[in-house]
Protein backbone atom coordinates (compact mmCIF):
# COMPACT_ATOMS: atom_id res chain seq x y z
CA UNK A 1 0.00 0.00 0.00
CA UNK A 2 2.79 2.41 0.86
CA UNK A 3 4.36 1.90 -2.57
CA UNK A 4 1.08 2.88 -4.23
CA UNK A 5 0.63 5.89 -1.96
CA UNK A 6 4.16 7.10 -2.77
CA UNK A 7 3.40 6.81 -6.46
CA UNK A 8 0.05 8.58 -6.41
CA UNK A 9 0.43 11.22 -3.66
CA UNK A 10 3.31 13.35 -4.83
CA UNK A 11 3.90 14.90 -1.38
CA UNK A 12 3.70 11.56 0.45
CA UNK A 13 7.36 11.56 1.49
CA UNK A 14 7.01 14.98 3.13
CA UNK A 15 4.06 13.93 5.33
CA UNK A 16 4.37 13.26 9.05
CA UNK A 17 4.48 9.72 10.46
CA UNK A 18 0.89 10.06 11.68
CA UNK A 19 -0.38 11.36 8.35
CA UNK A 20 1.33 8.49 6.53
CA UNK A 21 -0.10 5.98 9.01
CA UNK A 22 -3.57 7.44 8.53
CA UNK A 23 -3.35 7.09 4.75
CA UNK A 24 -1.92 3.54 4.87
CA UNK A 25 -4.60 2.34 7.29
CA UNK A 26 -7.55 3.93 5.53
CA UNK A 27 -6.89 3.70 1.81
CA UNK A 28 -8.42 0.97 -0.30
CA UNK A 29 -7.54 -0.50 -3.68
CA UNK A 30 -10.36 -0.83 -6.21
CA UNK A 31 -10.23 -2.45 -9.63
CA UNK A 32 -12.55 -1.59 -12.49
CA UNK A 33 -12.95 -2.77 -16.06
CA UNK A 34 -12.67 -0.46 -19.06
CA UNK A 35 -15.94 1.43 -19.55
CA UNK A 36 -16.94 1.30 -15.87
CA UNK A 37 -18.56 4.53 -14.64
CA UNK A 38 -16.65 5.10 -11.41
CA UNK A 39 -18.48 8.28 -10.50
CA UNK A 40 -21.80 9.55 -11.78
CA UNK A 41 -22.74 13.16 -11.06
CA UNK A 42 -24.22 13.59 -7.60
CA UNK A 43 -25.27 9.97 -7.27
CA UNK A 44 -21.99 8.70 -5.86
CA UNK A 45 -19.61 10.25 -3.37
CA UNK A 46 -16.63 7.97 -3.05
CA UNK A 47 -13.81 10.12 -1.76
CA UNK A 48 -10.38 10.98 -3.00
CA UNK A 49 -9.25 8.81 -5.89
CA UNK A 50 -5.68 8.27 -7.10
CA UNK A 51 -4.90 6.35 -10.26
CA UNK A 52 -2.48 3.48 -9.80
CA UNK A 53 -2.96 1.78 -13.17
CA UNK A 54 -4.95 2.65 -16.30
CA UNK A 55 -6.61 5.95 -17.24
CA UNK A 56 -9.91 7.70 -16.60
CA UNK A 57 -11.84 10.48 -18.27
CA UNK A 58 -13.75 13.19 -16.38
CA UNK A 59 -16.65 14.64 -18.32
CA UNK A 60 -19.94 16.46 -17.96
CA UNK A 61 -23.02 15.53 -19.92
CA UNK A 62 -26.28 17.24 -20.80
CA UNK A 63 -29.81 15.86 -20.53
CA UNK A 64 -29.69 15.18 -24.26
CA UNK A 65 -26.56 13.07 -23.86
CA UNK A 66 -24.07 15.58 -25.23
CA UNK A 67 -20.69 15.25 -23.54
CA UNK A 68 -17.66 17.38 -22.96
CA UNK A 69 -14.37 16.02 -21.67
CA UNK A 70 -12.90 18.08 -18.83
CA UNK A 71 -9.62 16.30 -18.27
CA UNK A 72 -8.02 12.87 -18.22
CA UNK A 73 -6.35 11.12 -15.35
CA UNK A 74 -3.34 8.88 -15.76
CA UNK A 75 -1.10 6.97 -13.36
CA UNK A 76 -0.26 9.14 -10.36
CA UNK A 77 -3.11 11.61 -10.99
CA UNK A 78 -5.68 12.47 -8.38
CA UNK A 79 -9.39 13.15 -8.73
CA UNK A 80 -11.02 15.25 -6.05
CA UNK A 81 -14.48 15.78 -7.39
CA UNK A 82 -15.44 12.24 -6.49
CA UNK A 83 -15.51 13.70 -2.96
CA UNK A 84 -17.59 16.71 -4.04
CA UNK A 85 -20.34 16.06 -1.48
CA UNK A 86 -17.87 16.97 1.26
CA UNK A 87 -16.48 19.99 -0.52
CA UNK A 88 -18.01 23.33 0.35
CA UNK A 89 -19.12 25.48 -2.57
CA UNK A 90 -18.88 22.76 -5.22
CA UNK A 91 -22.09 22.96 -7.21
CA UNK A 92 -21.33 20.90 -10.26
CA UNK A 93 -21.43 17.24 -11.08
CA UNK A 94 -18.83 15.41 -13.08
CA UNK A 95 -18.71 11.86 -14.33
CA UNK A 96 -15.64 9.66 -14.27
CA UNK A 97 -15.24 6.67 -16.54
CA UNK A 98 -12.40 4.13 -17.00
CA UNK A 99 -10.87 4.41 -20.44
CA UNK A 100 -8.83 1.27 -19.76
CA UNK A 101 -8.93 -1.38 -17.03
CA UNK A 102 -8.10 0.59 -13.89
CA UNK A 103 -6.56 0.06 -10.47
CA UNK A 104 -7.50 2.89 -8.16
CA UNK A 105 -6.54 3.96 -4.70
CA UNK A 106 -9.50 5.30 -2.75
CA UNK A 107 -9.48 7.33 0.44
CA UNK A 108 -13.15 7.10 1.53
CA UNK A 109 -14.95 10.40 1.74
CA UNK A 110 -15.24 10.87 5.52
CA UNK A 111 -11.58 10.07 6.02
CA UNK A 112 -10.67 12.39 3.17
CA UNK A 113 -12.52 15.16 4.97
CA UNK A 114 -10.74 14.41 8.24
CA UNK A 115 -7.22 14.52 6.85
CA UNK A 116 -8.01 17.49 4.63
CA UNK A 117 -9.16 19.52 7.65
CA UNK A 118 -6.29 18.50 9.90
CA UNK A 119 -3.24 18.49 7.66
CA UNK A 120 -2.01 21.82 6.28
CA UNK A 121 0.27 20.04 3.82
CA UNK A 122 -2.54 17.94 2.41
CA UNK A 123 -4.91 20.90 2.33
CA UNK A 124 -2.35 22.91 0.32
CA UNK A 125 -1.71 19.98 -1.97
CA UNK A 126 -5.43 19.53 -2.64
CA UNK A 127 -5.63 23.25 -3.33
CA UNK A 128 -2.92 22.92 -5.99
CA UNK A 129 -4.80 20.08 -7.66
CA UNK A 130 -8.02 22.11 -7.68
CA UNK A 131 -6.17 24.98 -9.36
CA UNK A 132 -4.82 22.62 -12.03
CA UNK A 133 -8.30 21.28 -12.77
CA UNK A 134 -9.66 24.82 -12.75
CA UNK A 135 -7.04 25.74 -15.34
CA UNK A 136 -8.08 22.76 -17.49
CA UNK A 137 -11.70 23.88 -17.42
CA UNK A 138 -10.82 27.50 -18.18
CA UNK A 139 -8.87 26.28 -21.22
CA UNK A 140 -11.91 24.36 -22.43
CA UNK A 141 -14.14 27.39 -21.85
CA UNK A 142 -11.79 29.61 -23.85
CA UNK A 143 -11.59 27.04 -26.63
CA UNK A 144 -15.35 26.71 -26.68
CA UNK A 145 -16.24 30.36 -26.58
CA UNK A 146 -13.43 31.98 -28.48
CA UNK A 147 -12.01 29.53 -30.96
CA UNK A 148 -13.84 28.36 -34.00
CA UNK A 149 -14.33 24.64 -34.28
CA UNK A 150 -11.94 24.10 -37.21
CA UNK A 151 -9.16 25.62 -35.15
CA UNK A 152 -10.07 23.47 -32.16
CA UNK A 153 -10.21 20.36 -34.32
CA UNK A 154 -6.81 21.13 -35.87
CA UNK A 155 -5.35 21.66 -32.39
CA UNK A 156 -6.90 18.44 -31.18
CA UNK A 157 -5.43 16.39 -34.04
CA UNK A 158 -1.99 17.99 -33.67
CA UNK A 159 -1.94 17.35 -29.93
CA UNK A 160 -2.35 13.62 -30.53
CA UNK A 161 1.12 13.83 -32.04
CA UNK A 162 0.63 10.99 -34.53
CA UNK A 163 0.56 10.72 -38.30
CA UNK A 164 -1.98 7.89 -38.27
CA UNK A 165 -4.78 8.47 -35.81
CA UNK A 166 -7.15 5.63 -35.01
CA UNK A 167 -10.27 7.30 -33.70
CA UNK A 168 -13.97 7.57 -34.51
CA UNK A 169 -15.57 10.87 -35.47
CA UNK A 170 -17.99 10.34 -32.56
CA UNK A 171 -15.07 10.18 -30.13
CA UNK A 172 -13.63 13.45 -31.45
CA UNK A 173 -17.08 15.06 -31.26
CA UNK A 174 -17.42 13.97 -27.63
CA UNK A 175 -14.00 15.32 -26.77
CA UNK A 176 -14.71 18.69 -28.39
CA UNK A 177 -18.31 18.95 -27.16
CA UNK A 178 -19.63 18.94 -30.71
CA UNK A 179 -21.82 16.67 -32.85
CA UNK A 180 -20.51 13.78 -34.94
CA UNK A 181 -21.97 15.18 -38.16
CA UNK A 182 -20.24 18.51 -37.61
CA UNK A 183 -16.88 16.83 -37.03
CA UNK A 184 -17.33 14.53 -40.02
CA UNK A 185 -18.12 17.54 -42.21
CA UNK A 186 -15.06 19.41 -40.99
CA UNK A 187 -12.80 16.39 -41.47
CA UNK A 188 -14.18 15.94 -44.99
CA UNK A 189 -13.43 19.59 -45.59
CA UNK A 190 -9.83 19.04 -44.42
CA UNK A 191 -9.61 16.00 -46.71
CA UNK A 192 -10.79 18.03 -49.67
CA UNK A 193 -7.99 20.48 -48.95
CA UNK A 194 -5.49 17.57 -48.96
CA UNK A 195 -4.67 18.14 -45.31
CA UNK A 196 -5.60 14.63 -44.27
CA UNK A 197 -6.93 11.37 -45.56
CA UNK A 198 -9.94 9.62 -44.06
CA UNK A 199 -10.34 5.85 -43.75
CA UNK A 200 -12.67 3.82 -41.63
CA UNK A 201 -11.89 4.89 -38.03
CA UNK A 202 -8.51 6.19 -39.14
CA UNK A 203 -7.27 9.66 -39.97
CA UNK A 204 -3.91 10.12 -41.69
CA UNK A 205 -2.37 13.57 -41.58
CA UNK A 206 -0.73 14.30 -44.92
CA UNK A 207 -0.08 18.04 -44.62
CA UNK A 208 1.01 18.86 -41.11
CA UNK A 209 1.92 22.46 -41.97
CA UNK A 210 -1.53 23.24 -43.30
CA UNK A 211 -3.03 21.83 -40.11
CA UNK A 212 -0.64 23.95 -38.04
CA UNK A 213 -1.72 27.00 -40.00
CA UNK A 214 -5.38 26.38 -39.14
CA UNK A 215 -4.49 25.69 -35.50
CA UNK A 216 -2.62 28.97 -35.24
CA UNK A 217 -4.88 31.22 -37.30
CA UNK B 1 -9.00 48.85 8.86
CA UNK B 2 -10.25 46.15 11.22
CA UNK B 3 -13.86 47.05 10.41
CA UNK B 4 -13.20 46.56 6.71
CA UNK B 5 -11.37 43.28 7.31
CA UNK B 6 -14.27 41.97 9.38
CA UNK B 7 -16.65 42.85 6.58
CA UNK B 8 -14.67 41.34 3.75
CA UNK B 9 -12.94 38.32 5.32
CA UNK B 10 -15.82 36.17 6.55
CA UNK B 11 -13.63 34.10 8.86
CA UNK B 12 -11.80 37.12 10.33
CA UNK B 13 -13.26 36.69 13.82
CA UNK B 14 -12.03 33.12 14.02
CA UNK B 15 -8.42 34.02 13.22
CA UNK B 16 -5.65 34.10 15.83
CA UNK B 17 -4.36 37.37 17.30
CA UNK B 18 -1.20 37.14 15.19
CA UNK B 19 -3.10 36.44 11.98
CA UNK B 20 -5.37 39.43 12.64
CA UNK B 21 -2.37 41.65 13.39
CA UNK B 22 -0.69 40.50 10.18
CA UNK B 23 -3.74 41.40 8.10
CA UNK B 24 -4.26 44.77 9.82
CA UNK B 25 -0.63 45.80 9.38
CA UNK B 26 -0.29 44.70 5.78
CA UNK B 27 -3.58 45.43 4.06
CA UNK B 28 -4.06 48.55 1.97
CA UNK B 29 -7.12 50.44 0.83
CA UNK B 30 -7.32 51.33 -2.88
CA UNK B 31 -9.97 53.45 -4.61
CA UNK B 32 -10.81 53.17 -8.29
CA UNK B 33 -13.26 54.90 -10.60
CA UNK B 34 -15.94 53.04 -12.55
CA UNK B 35 -14.42 51.49 -15.68
CA UNK B 36 -10.94 51.14 -14.20
CA UNK B 37 -9.20 47.90 -15.20
CA UNK B 38 -7.91 46.73 -11.82
CA UNK B 39 -6.29 43.58 -13.16
CA UNK B 40 -5.32 42.73 -16.71
CA UNK B 41 -4.44 39.15 -17.55
CA UNK B 42 -0.88 38.31 -16.66
CA UNK B 43 0.32 41.91 -16.72
CA UNK B 44 -0.53 42.72 -13.13
CA UNK B 45 -0.20 40.65 -9.98
CA UNK B 46 -1.62 42.64 -7.13
CA UNK B 47 -2.53 40.13 -4.46
CA UNK B 48 -5.70 39.21 -2.66
CA UNK B 49 -8.49 41.71 -3.21
CA UNK B 50 -11.61 42.16 -1.09
CA UNK B 51 -14.43 44.47 -2.15
CA UNK B 52 -15.36 47.08 0.44
CA UNK B 53 -17.56 49.28 -1.74
CA UNK B 54 -18.83 49.01 -5.30
CA UNK B 55 -18.76 46.03 -7.65
CA UNK B 56 -16.36 44.45 -10.11
CA UNK B 57 -16.65 42.10 -13.04
CA UNK B 58 -14.19 39.28 -13.77
CA UNK B 59 -13.99 38.33 -17.43
CA UNK B 60 -11.82 36.71 -20.06
CA UNK B 61 -11.37 38.14 -23.52
CA UNK B 62 -10.15 36.80 -26.84
CA UNK B 63 -7.64 38.39 -29.23
CA UNK B 64 -10.57 39.60 -31.30
CA UNK B 65 -12.06 41.42 -28.31
CA UNK B 66 -14.87 38.96 -27.58
CA UNK B 67 -15.61 38.79 -23.87
CA UNK B 68 -17.19 36.38 -21.46
CA UNK B 69 -18.13 37.30 -17.91
CA UNK B 70 -16.99 34.74 -15.35
CA UNK B 71 -18.47 36.18 -12.18
CA UNK B 72 -19.17 39.44 -10.39
CA UNK B 73 -17.83 40.64 -7.08
CA UNK B 74 -19.85 42.70 -4.64
CA UNK B 75 -19.22 44.06 -1.14
CA UNK B 76 -17.59 41.41 1.01
CA UNK B 77 -16.51 39.28 -1.95
CA UNK B 78 -12.92 38.22 -2.50
CA UNK B 79 -10.95 37.87 -5.71
CA UNK B 80 -8.00 35.51 -5.64
CA UNK B 81 -6.93 35.43 -9.25
CA UNK B 82 -5.35 38.86 -8.92
CA UNK B 83 -2.66 36.89 -7.05
CA UNK B 84 -2.44 34.23 -9.77
CA UNK B 85 1.31 34.71 -10.27
CA UNK B 86 1.84 33.22 -6.80
CA UNK B 87 -0.64 30.41 -7.23
CA UNK B 88 0.76 27.11 -8.40
CA UNK B 89 -0.97 25.50 -11.36
CA UNK B 90 -2.99 28.54 -12.40
CA UNK B 91 -2.54 28.87 -16.13
CA UNK B 92 -5.27 31.30 -17.11
CA UNK B 93 -5.58 35.04 -17.14
CA UNK B 94 -8.63 36.94 -16.06
CA UNK B 95 -9.40 40.63 -16.22
CA UNK B 96 -11.10 42.58 -13.45
CA UNK B 97 -12.91 45.84 -14.08
CA UNK B 98 -14.84 48.20 -11.77
CA UNK B 99 -18.50 48.33 -12.72
CA UNK B 100 -19.01 51.19 -10.23
CA UNK B 101 -16.64 53.39 -8.26
CA UNK B 102 -14.84 50.93 -5.99
CA UNK B 103 -13.09 50.82 -2.65
CA UNK B 104 -10.91 47.75 -2.39
CA UNK B 105 -8.87 46.13 0.32
CA UNK B 106 -5.61 44.73 -1.00
CA UNK B 107 -3.30 42.24 0.66
CA UNK B 108 -0.16 42.56 -1.48
CA UNK B 109 0.89 39.42 -3.27
CA UNK B 110 3.99 38.41 -1.26
CA UNK B 111 2.15 38.85 2.02
CA UNK B 112 -0.79 36.92 0.64
CA UNK B 113 1.55 34.05 -0.12
CA UNK B 114 3.05 34.20 3.38
CA UNK B 115 -0.25 34.03 5.27
CA UNK B 116 -1.69 31.47 2.85
CA UNK B 117 1.23 29.12 3.49
CA UNK B 118 1.28 29.60 7.24
CA UNK B 119 -2.37 29.71 8.28
CA UNK B 120 -4.43 26.55 7.90
CA UNK B 121 -7.65 28.51 8.45
CA UNK B 122 -6.87 30.99 5.71
CA UNK B 123 -5.67 28.25 3.37
CA UNK B 124 -8.97 26.39 3.84
CA UNK B 125 -10.95 29.60 3.40
CA UNK B 126 -9.13 30.38 0.15
CA UNK B 127 -9.80 26.83 -0.96
CA UNK B 128 -13.54 27.36 -0.42
CA UNK B 129 -13.46 30.54 -2.49
CA UNK B 130 -11.62 28.78 -5.32
CA UNK B 131 -14.28 26.07 -5.31
CA UNK B 132 -17.04 28.68 -5.55
CA UNK B 133 -15.37 30.38 -8.52
CA UNK B 134 -14.74 26.99 -10.10
CA UNK B 135 -18.46 26.27 -9.76
CA UNK B 136 -19.28 29.60 -11.43
CA UNK B 137 -17.05 28.75 -14.38
CA UNK B 138 -18.46 25.22 -14.67
CA UNK B 139 -21.93 26.74 -14.82
CA UNK B 140 -20.86 29.02 -17.66
CA UNK B 141 -19.25 26.10 -19.49
CA UNK B 142 -22.42 24.03 -19.19
CA UNK B 143 -24.54 26.97 -20.34
CA UNK B 144 -22.21 27.55 -23.27
CA UNK B 145 -21.84 23.99 -24.44
CA UNK B 146 -25.18 22.46 -23.62
CA UNK B 147 -27.87 25.11 -23.60
CA UNK B 148 -29.07 26.79 -26.69
CA UNK B 149 -28.70 30.54 -26.72
CA UNK B 150 -32.44 31.32 -26.50
CA UNK B 151 -32.59 29.37 -23.25
CA UNK B 152 -29.52 31.15 -21.91
CA UNK B 153 -30.92 34.53 -22.91
CA UNK B 154 -34.26 33.78 -21.24
CA UNK B 155 -32.43 32.70 -18.09
CA UNK B 156 -30.30 35.81 -18.18
CA UNK B 157 -33.29 38.14 -18.46
CA UNK B 158 -35.22 36.31 -15.71
CA UNK B 159 -32.25 36.42 -13.36
CA UNK B 160 -32.19 40.23 -13.56
CA UNK B 161 -35.51 40.02 -11.75
CA UNK B 162 -36.96 43.20 -13.26
CA UNK B 163 -39.86 43.97 -15.55
CA UNK B 164 -38.09 46.92 -17.17
CA UNK B 165 -34.48 46.18 -17.99
CA UNK B 166 -32.20 49.01 -19.03
CA UNK B 167 -29.40 47.35 -20.94
CA UNK B 168 -27.80 47.39 -24.38
CA UNK B 169 -27.81 44.35 -26.63
CA UNK B 170 -24.01 44.60 -26.75
CA UNK B 171 -23.87 44.27 -22.95
CA UNK B 172 -26.02 41.13 -23.03
CA UNK B 173 -23.89 39.71 -25.84
CA UNK B 174 -20.74 40.32 -23.79
CA UNK B 175 -22.25 38.65 -20.73
CA UNK B 176 -23.36 35.61 -22.71
CA UNK B 177 -20.22 35.38 -24.83
CA UNK B 178 -22.19 35.94 -28.01
CA UNK B 179 -22.38 38.59 -30.75
CA UNK B 180 -24.62 41.67 -30.59
CA UNK B 181 -26.37 40.80 -33.87
CA UNK B 182 -27.26 37.33 -32.59
CA UNK B 183 -28.70 38.72 -29.36
CA UNK B 184 -30.65 41.44 -31.22
CA UNK B 185 -32.10 38.82 -33.53
CA UNK B 186 -33.14 36.62 -30.63
CA UNK B 187 -34.68 39.55 -28.74
CA UNK B 188 -36.57 40.56 -31.87
CA UNK B 189 -37.77 36.97 -32.12
CA UNK B 190 -39.00 37.15 -28.49
CA UNK B 191 -40.73 40.47 -29.31
CA UNK B 192 -42.50 38.93 -32.27
CA UNK B 193 -43.81 36.25 -29.92
CA UNK B 194 -45.13 38.99 -27.58
CA UNK B 195 -42.77 37.87 -24.83
CA UNK B 196 -41.14 41.27 -24.48
CA UNK B 197 -41.10 44.74 -25.92
CA UNK B 198 -37.96 46.46 -27.17
CA UNK B 199 -37.20 50.15 -26.82
CA UNK B 200 -33.91 51.98 -27.17
CA UNK B 201 -31.64 50.38 -24.53
CA UNK B 202 -34.68 49.08 -22.67
CA UNK B 203 -36.34 45.69 -22.62
CA UNK B 204 -39.77 45.28 -21.04
CA UNK B 205 -40.90 41.78 -20.19
CA UNK B 206 -44.59 41.41 -20.99
CA UNK B 207 -45.03 37.64 -20.77
CA UNK B 208 -42.97 36.29 -17.90
CA UNK B 209 -44.48 32.79 -18.14
CA UNK B 210 -43.49 32.40 -21.78
CA UNK B 211 -39.94 33.44 -20.86
CA UNK B 212 -39.93 30.93 -18.01
CA UNK B 213 -41.04 28.23 -20.43
CA UNK B 214 -38.08 28.94 -22.71
CA UNK B 215 -35.73 29.08 -19.76
CA UNK B 216 -36.88 25.70 -18.52
CA UNK B 217 -37.29 23.87 -21.82
| Same domain? A134 vs A151 | no
Question: How far is B135 from B155, CA to CA, in rounded Å?
Answer: 17
Q: At A206, is the secondary structure helix, strand, or coil?
A: coil
Number of domains in chain B: 2
Q: What is the pLDDT of residues A146-176, one digit of tens each?
A: 777 888 899 999 999 899 999 999 999 888 8
Q: Burial, A137: exposed, middle or buried (Cβ in 10 Å; 0-12, 13-18, 19+)?
A: buried
| Same domain? B134 vs B185 | no
| Same domain? A121 vs A210 | no
A vs B: CB pairs below 8 A: 105
Which residues are CB-contacts of A62 (< 8 A; sequence separation ≥ 6)?
B142, B145, B146, B147
- Answer whether A141 sits within 8 Å of B146, measured CB to CB: no
- Answer whether A131 sits within 8 Å of B89, measured CB to CB: yes
Strands B37-40 and B95-98: antiparallel
The minimum CA-CA distance between A197 and chain B, rounded to whole Å, is 29
Report the interhelical angle of B169-176 vs B149-159 (nearest 10°): 110
Give the H or E element holding residue A28.
strand A28-32
Neighbours of B121 (CB within 10 A): 14
Q: Find the CATH number of the domain harbouring B70.
A: 2.60.120.10
Residue B142 at interface with chain A, using a CB cutoff of 8 Å: yes
| Same domain? A6 vs A99 | yes
Q: Do B58 and B73 touch, CB atoms closer than 8 A?
A: yes
Q: What is the pLDDT of residues A9-25, one digit of tens each?
A: 889 999 999 999 999 99
Instruction: Single out the residue of A170, A188, A179, A176 nearest to residue A151, CA to CA.
Output: A176
> How many secondary structure helices (H) and strands (E) does chain B include?
8, 11
Q: Do A142 and A188 touch, CB atoms closer than 8 A?
A: no
Residue B74 at interface with chain A, using a CB cutoff of 8 Å: no
Question: How far is A105 from B69, CA to CA, in rounded Å?
Answer: 38
Q: Find the CATH number of the domain harbouring B208.
A: 1.10.10.10
Q: Do B203 and B157 touch, CB atoms closer than 8 A?
A: yes
pLDDT in tens, chain B (217 residues): 888 888 888 899 999 999 999 999 999 999 999 999 999 887 888 899 999 999 999 998 876 667 788 888 999 899 888 888 888 778 888 999 999 999 999 999 888 888 888 888 888 888 888 888 898 888 888 877 777 788 889 999 999 989 999 999 999 988 887 778 778 888 988 998 889 999 988 999 999 999 998 888 6
**Closest CB from B90, B120, B133 relative to A123:** B120
Among B residues 81-120, those touching chain A with beta carbons less than 8 Å apart: 87-92, 117, 120
Q: Do B213 and B150 touch, CB atoms closer than 8 A?
A: no
**Closest CB from B90, B123, B138 relative to A135:** B90
| Same domain? A175 vs A191 | yes
Q: Do A50 and A77 touch, CB atoms closer than 8 A?
A: yes
Judged against a pLDDT cut of 90, whether residue A26 lies above it is answered with yes
Among A residues 176-205, those touching chain B with beta carbons less than 8 Å apart: 177
The minimum CA-CA distance between B26 and chain A, rounded to whole Å, is 23
ipTM score here?
Answer: 0.70
| Same domain? A126 vs A169 | no
The minimum CA-CA distance between B98 and chain A, rounded to whole Å, is 22
The residues facing B198 across adjacent strands are: B203
Amino acid sequence: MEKILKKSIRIYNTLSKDEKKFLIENSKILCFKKGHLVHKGDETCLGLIAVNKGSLKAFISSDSGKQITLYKLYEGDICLFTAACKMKNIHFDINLICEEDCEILLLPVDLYEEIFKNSKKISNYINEIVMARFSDVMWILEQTVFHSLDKRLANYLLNLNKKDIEITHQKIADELGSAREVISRLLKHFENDNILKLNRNKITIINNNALLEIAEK
